[in-house]
Structure 1
Amino acid sequence: MKTATALFQAQPYTPQCEVMAREGAHAVIGVSSGNSYFSARRVTDLARWGAANFEQVDLIYTDLFVGEMFEALGYPPEDARRKAVKNLRGVRAKVTAAAKDADPSGSRVRAHALSALTTIAAYQNIHTKLITLLEGDPEFRATCDSLVDAFLSAKLLHGQAATRRQRDVCLKYLCAEAPLFLDTPAILNVPSSLNCYHQLLPMAELLYARGPGLRASRNQGHAVLTPAEGEPDER
């Protein structure tokens, strides 16, 4: 049986991200609602891995615009609401149980809904900046449009064009998540932070590019976190 430290393999996105991984000050582990990758066992293992490798860990699950997204994709309003409630109830239970399992004291591993961060001033400031950049920064807008296109192309029937409403909801969802890609240390008051997810984060190529433009803060990192060899892939 693998130790908690060896349950996953982290691939830091840049050399500076690797420094943050070695420092092990703080990690954000994102958990998407309705994604079969995040089984109860997987989320528990993620929490255990985080606790074994970092001083502090925040498990954060997305709970914003979930019902709106289902409705925009064609579910009747009441069905969209019920589907969102069911998905969020499930992910909340898994994340809460995993945090408690990894750290019963609750002092090192914490569970949050993304919505709980929206009252924090640093989050609000970053989010407001992103909304402004959607209209004023062609590079950021092009990146967001490309991500929305990729998401909707996987959800819509072949040849079906996305509606304005679908695109607007996707942009809102993306901008709600993005502050954690940019500056988790400011939002959660930690010295540095590694944002861990099983796929390359949206905007990573933009945020970690050289030169001017919208960039992640100097103490914000990202790593692609995948099950170690021999661990079952539950997707």
Structure 2
Amino acid sequence: MTTAIRTGTFAVRPYTPHCRVIHDEGDHAVIGISSGNGYFTHERVLDLAGWGLAQFRQVDLIWTDMHVAEMFEALGYPPVEAQRKAVKNLRGVRAKVTAAVSSLDPDGERLRGRPMSALLELPAYQRIRTQLDALLTQDPEFREVCDQLAARFLADKLNGRPPTDRQREVCIKYVCAEVPLFLDTPAILDVPSSLNCYHQALPLAELLYARGWGLRASRNQGHAVITPADTEERSA
């Protein structure tokens, strides 16, 4: 990962030098907002949106809204309670994103907020998702990375208990819904180049930006880890 770029509230670490070029071009950024994640407070989402507008010509705040109820049910909640919790979490994250857009760009000219499910109708997203479904059974390297991501997500939920096959299966579906935005956001959202931003380093990036053959991010796709600047300073 490259040296951190400090821009006011946040420190940004583009994953590769080429990701740094995409950051510096400033065409577009996707900022992923996870539902039910305490990291994404109202203030944090507003600050992230403001940072994005200061650095990029267009910004999409995209929150995960797919397979959320399934995940709660797999974790042991009764179906009705799982649905209730999913609705509550999604209502909360939608309110945070909507408030940020309304405050910073009410006309939606440069800042957009949308759920992941809104991408389902886009041809490029559909194409990539179909490819990923095939790769889960055909590409051991990709499957291993998805398993790592699922294990990482479930570790916090299961308090050390091993996940069941059902929990792993639902979590991988949840993960794969997001992967297209790490692969080729320019094709999906029709932008020249795009930086996918998240607050944690992900094993997926190691695969997508490795040398050689295999599943790789498109040339116009970048990735960066963006964290609060004070956190970066404490860890330096």
> Which secondary structure does the structure 1 equivalent of 2:36 belong to?
coil
CA distance in 2, matches of 1:129, 1:230: 37
Partner deviation per Cα, 1:81-131 (whole Å, 9 max, x = no partner): 111000000100100110121212211000010000011000000000000
Moved over 4 A (4+): none
Instruction: Structure 2 unaligned segments of length 5 or more: list them.
Output: 1-6
Match of 2:14? 12
TM-score (normalizing by structure 2):
0.93
Q: Residue 62 of structure 2: which of 60, 63, 68 is its match?
A: 60
Match of 2:3? none
Partner deviation per Cα, 1:157-195 (whole Å, 9 max, x = no partner): 43x332121111011111111000100000000000000
Alpha carbons 1:7, 1:45 under 8 Å: kept: yes
Alpha carbons 1:51, 1:103 under 8 Å: kept: no
CA distance in 2, matches of 1:123, 1:174: 14
CA distance in 1, matches of 2:108, 2:68: 27
CA distance in 2, matches of 1:14, 1:98: 29
Alpha carbons 1:20, 1:221 under 8 Å: kept: yes
Q: After superposition, where does 1:11-50 map in structure 2 within 5 Å?
A: 11-50=13-52
Structure 2 residue 216 is matched with structure 1 residue 215: yes
Match of 1:192? 193
Alpha carbons 2:148, 2:203 under 8 Å: kept: no
The 1:187–1:180 alpha-carbon spacing in structure 2 relative to 1, beyond 3 Å, is same
Residue type of the alignment partner of 2:62: I
The Cα RMSD (Å) is 1.5
CA distance in 2, matches of 1:229, 1:218: 32
Partner deviation per Cα, 1:1-30 (whole Å, 9 max, x = no partner): xxxx51211110000000011110000000
Identity of aligned residues (%): 67
Instruction: Structure 1 unaligned segments of length 5 or more: list them.
Output: none
CA distance in 1, matches of 2:211, 2:229: 31
Deviation at residue 153 of structure 1 after TM alignment: 2.6
TM-score (normalizing by structure 1):
0.93
> Which secondary structure does the structure 1 equivalent of 2:59 belong to?
strand
> Which secondary structure does the structure 1 equivalent of 2:120 belong to?
helix
Match of 1:203? 204
